[in-house]
Amino acid sequence: MIMVTNLSEAGNPPLIYLGVMLAFGVVILYRAKQKHVEKEISFYWGLVLLFLLEILCFATLQTSLGLLIFSLACLLCCFYLPAPAMLPVDRKAVLITGSDTGIGHKLAKYLDDLGFVVFAGVLNEEGLGAEELRKTCSERLSVLQLDITSSQQIQEAFLEVKKKLGNADLWGIINNAGILGFPADAELLPMNSYKQCMEVNFFGPVEVSKTFLPLLRKSKGRIINISSMAGGIPMPKFAAYGASKAALSMFSGVLRQELSKWGIKVAVVHPSGFRTSIQGTPEQWKKLEENLLEKLPDDVKKDYGEKYLFALKNFLSCIPNVSTPDLSPVLQDILHALLAKRPHGLYSPGKNAYKYQLIFHYFPLWFYDCFMSRLEPVPVAPKALEAAETRDKNS
């Protein structure tokens, strides 16, 4: 920041003060998000006091001295924001779905290290992920066979958790299990892709929540649903996945309102690009691609063309390159949702989460659509559109 020595050097003091206020305001809000500061009345009163201090400095002091004092006050606010009030771990019991790999696997280890009693639901209790949890985690962690699309397995998991808890209470449910499916244009996706995404990403968490809620009412605990950035804003190629995650986010909001009378707090997490195994393996990609091509009508396949359909493979392979392997922001947000006395209703971990939401909510839709189209990883145009463009140029 360039300091000025007198009013004549200051240019336009009101504009300078306004610029400094906006800059520090953004920094304070960003720091508050990082530290999970509880934005109660006292927090907003603090911002009002800073604004009044700015007016006082502008009205009574030279520009340079006033800006210096105001800047120091803002810096103090940035570095000395109050830490959120947190509950003790105290061997609280939590159920996590989808603990075989990715966020669920890391979360099970993370919470176990902190002293939680963890019930790690896995799709395959004989798989490598389940075996690693048994070997590396404490005796507090229990691995449960839990396919969230199976009502029978959900009920069996409920009885097992209830049995192992004894007289203790279940504190939290973390609905993490999910699938991505094959990213492609909405018209190209077969109906079974939409149904599968809804079954795993929406109906599964709904049934798990409904089944375990009687235990949560006793503890006045927490439900945390892991949605996605694609569940909050429209993103090309994610029609099936995004729609299922949007349904989960809406369900979470309704639950938050309805369960507040029971003392149960509900949060939804919208992570941005983190490197997990949700996109699957090359073998799974091949099966999904074959399923897509088999279900395509001939006229649709002809209009899009083999070149465009083949280029869709590149989308999946690009996902790890634009994702971060550091899952700590997600884990810390989930921990805050579990233990904060006043958890947030929505968490958006990841450096790009706010950027995309900001553009979608506060810019014209045409600007957002243009912005997203420039991120399109499939540069090939459908065959019919290329042919039409060529005819237009030649006519």
Q: Which amino acids are annotated catalytic? A: 241
* Helix%, strand%, coil% for the chain, nearest 5: 60, 10, 30
**DSSP code, position 325:** S
Which token pair is 219? Answer: 């503890």
Cα 294 to Cα 288: distance, rounded to the nearest angstrom: 10
With the C-alpha atoms ordered 371, 377, 379, 384, is the resulting torsion angle positive or negative? Answer: negative
Cα-Cα end-to-end distance for the chain: 57
* Three-class DSSP category at 18: helix
Cα 299 to chain centroid distance, Å, stands at 38
CA 105, chain centre distance (Å): 16
Residue from 189, 192, 187, 194 nearest 303 by CA: 187
Q: In b/e form, how buried is each residue of 89-99, taking b as 16+ CB within 10 angstroms? A: eeebbbbbbbb
Residue 159's alpha-carbon distances to 111, 215, 221, 378, in angstroms, are 22, 11, 19, 47
Give SS3 for 17.
helix
Helix (H, G, I), strand (E, B) or coil at 390: helix
C-alpha span between 320 and 174 (Å, rounded): 24
CA atoms of 349 and 347, how far apart (whole Å): 6
DSSP 323: S
Contact present, 161 and 212 (Cβ < 8 Å): yes
For residue 378, CA distances in Å to 95, 156, 369, 392 come to 39, 44, 16, 23
Give the position of tokens 């779905």: 97
Q: CA–CA distance from 236 to each of 109, 170, 376, 390 (Å)? A: 34, 39, 8, 25
- 377, HSE (Cβ side, Cα atoms, 13 Å): 19
